A and B are shown apart, each in its own frame.
Chain A
Amino acid sequence: MRQETQHPQDERLEAYSDGSLPGNERAAIGSHVRKCVRCQSEVDDWRALFTSLAALPLLSPSPGFANRVMAHVTVQQAWQSRTAAALARFVPRTTGGLFVAVAMLAIPALAAGTLMVWLLSRSYLTGYRLWVFATDQFAAGTNQVASGAVSRLLETDIAVWLATTMTALLGSTGLRAMTFVAGGLSFAIVASIWVLYRNLFRTPNRGSTYVSFTF
């Protein structure tokens, strides 16, 4: 067999062996390799290495791996996932976007802070007076909303019916029996809230079942 004197560079032979050379160069080196024992041996070595690497076995974690992982995974319900995904869209992904978002949040905070500093710098306004003013306003507002809601509720037919029925029931069954009934109802309400909470927010993992109860 005739030996070519101009051997391809090692990098070229390596690339030829893994098939990453472009067509024309591949053909040229292939033509040389077929005639050159030394380069053919080099290509064989590369290919043997690639084959051995590809033949390395996949390794398996110990049994129960999936269960151990799932014990720490929160399986969210669809609405939770969609809400999280929708909120995630508003989170900036780039440094520039993050800077703009921080700046936008900082503007109202700075404005409020400046206003507060200016107010506190006035001689007629002190921190204590501002606090009293804010709590008074809050209390008045809460009181107004609550009293409005109660008076509206008492004006409805349902409230009148409920009051009449409860009075009649209290007269016929007595206070003690009514206390038991109220206790039972309270327990049922708390238990229902717990079941709802477990099913809506703490969805099952590790093969656990949905929480339910029967009376």
Chain B
Amino acid sequence: MDYRELTDQEVIERARDGREPAFRELIRRYQRPVFSLIYRLVRDRERAEDLAQDTFIKVLNALDRYDPSYKFSSWIFKIAHNTALDDLRRKHPETLSIHGSPHASNRDEIEATVLTPVSDDETPEEFTSSKEIGGHIEKAIGNLRVEYRTAILLCHVEGRPYEEVAQIMDVPLGTVKTYIHRARNELKKQLAHLRC
């Protein structure tokens, strides 16, 4: 059976029937979006790996309690967001760097923690030039308040509609709109030097 052709709900039904490939399909579909969100929130690869792993373990072990009237993506992002927030409350945030974790103390650690894009259709040249702009944006996002950062990442990077962002962040729709408006304005100010 090709699980790639099934909808999320169909994959979940099969996972509930005890089929391990269905669990792996859910991981395959969401590991990059979930990891990207968490990494950009906590800004440390090692912590992001652990938190993304915790998120999937919580989600996959609780599939029986999943309410199909909600989108699966909302549910998993909500758990990812809460897991990252809990971690951020416990630890001090660090400065984001696309060149590796600020904790890295040697070359191996720097290479191990560097941000790695996985866009299949991007050539190395395109990546090098986009890395320049992307680096500024990543840094600007890293300077945002965590609520603004979450909202902007979910809305613009993950492409989630405002209503879903509100559900994930557990705040009213109006609050999400305010967060996004303020985040955009801050980003625009921070990136003004790139315009010319």
- A→B interface (CB under 8 Å): 11, 14, 45-46, 48-50, 52-62, 65-66, 68-70, 72-78, 80-81, 84-85, 88, 203-205, 207
Q: Is the CB of A14 within 8 A of B35?
A: no
Name the residue of chain B whose CB is nearest to the CB of A74: B61
CB distance from B134 to the nearest CB of A (A): 6
CB distance from B29 to the nearest CB of A (A): 11
Name the residue of chain B whose CB is nearest to the CB of A10: B185
Contacts of A207 in B (CB 8 A): 20
Within 8 A of A (CB), among B50-76: 52-53, 56-57, 60-61, 63-65
18 more CB-based (< 8 A) A-B contacts, given A50-B156, A75-B20? A11-B181, A14-B181, A49-B184, A52-B134, A52-B137, A55-B130, A56-B157, A59-B40, A61-B31, A65-B31, A69-B60, A70-B24, A70-B27, A75-B18, A76-B18, A76-B64, A85-B16, A203-B18
Query: Given A59-B39, A65-B52, are A73 and B159 also a contact pair (CB < 8 Å)?
Result: no
Contacts of B36 in A (CB 8 A): 58-59
Contacts of A69 in B (CB 8 A): 27, 53, 56-57, 60
Contacts of B156 in A (CB 8 A): 50, 53-54
Name the residue of chain B whose CB is nearest to the CB of A79: B18
Contacts of A77 in B (CB 8 A): 18
Contacts of A78 in B (CB 8 A): 16-18
Name the residue of chain B whose CB is nearest to the CB of A78: B17
Q: Is the CB of A73 within 8 A of B18?
A: no
Contacts of B33 in A (CB 8 A): 58
Contacts of A56 in B (CB 8 A): 134, 137-138, 157
Contacts of B105 in A (CB 8 A): none
Query: Given A56-B157, A59-B36, A75-B18, are A70 and B137 also a contact pair (CB < 8 Å)?
Result: no
Select one of B19, B31, B157 contacting A53, CB under 8 A: B157
Name the residue of chain B whose CB is nearest to the CB of A72: B57
Interface code B145-174, partner A: CB below 8 Å = 1, 0 otherwise? 000000010001101000000000000000
Mark the stretch among B3-11, B85-93, B117-125 that contacts chain A: B117-125
Q: Is the CB of B18 within 8 A of A49?
A: no
Give A60 to B37 CA distance when docked, in angstroms.
11
Interface code B30-48, partner A: CB below 8 Å = 1, 0 otherwise? 0111011001100000001
Name the residue of chain A whose CB is nearest to the CB of B131: A57
26 contacts between A and B (CB under 8 A): A46-B184, A48-B195, A50-B156, A53-B156, A53-B187, A54-B159, A58-B33, A58-B118, A59-B32, A59-B36, A60-B32, A61-B32, A61-B35, A65-B31, A66-B24, A69-B56, A69-B60, A70-B24, A72-B61, A73-B56, A73-B60, A73-B61, A76-B18, A81-B63, A88-B64, A204-B20
Verify if B193 is at the interface (C-beta below 8 Å from A). no
Of A48, A55, A61, A70, chain B has the most CB atoms within 10 Å of the CB of: A61
Give A204 to B188 CA distance when docked, in angstroms.
51
Q: Is the CB of A60 within 8 A of B31?
A: yes
Contacts of B159 in A (CB 8 A): 54
Give A76 to B14 CA distance when docked, in angstroms.
11
Contacts of A88 in B (CB 8 A): 64-65
Verify if B109 is at the interface (C-beta below 8 Å from A). no
CB distance from A204 to the nearest CB of B (A): 7
Q: Is the CB of A81 within 8 A of B28?
A: no
Select one of A57, A65, A75 contacting B118, CB under 8 A: A57
Q: Is the CB of A59 within 8 A of B117?
A: yes
Name the residue of chain B whose CB is nearest to the CB of A87: B64
Q: Is the CB of B134 within 8 A of A57?
A: yes
CB distance from A72 to the nearest CB of B (A): 5
Verify if B179 is at the interface (C-beta below 8 Å from A). no
Name the residue of chain A whose CB is nearest to the CB of B55: A69
Contacts of B122 in A (CB 8 A): 57
Q: Is the CB of B18 within 8 A of A59?
A: no
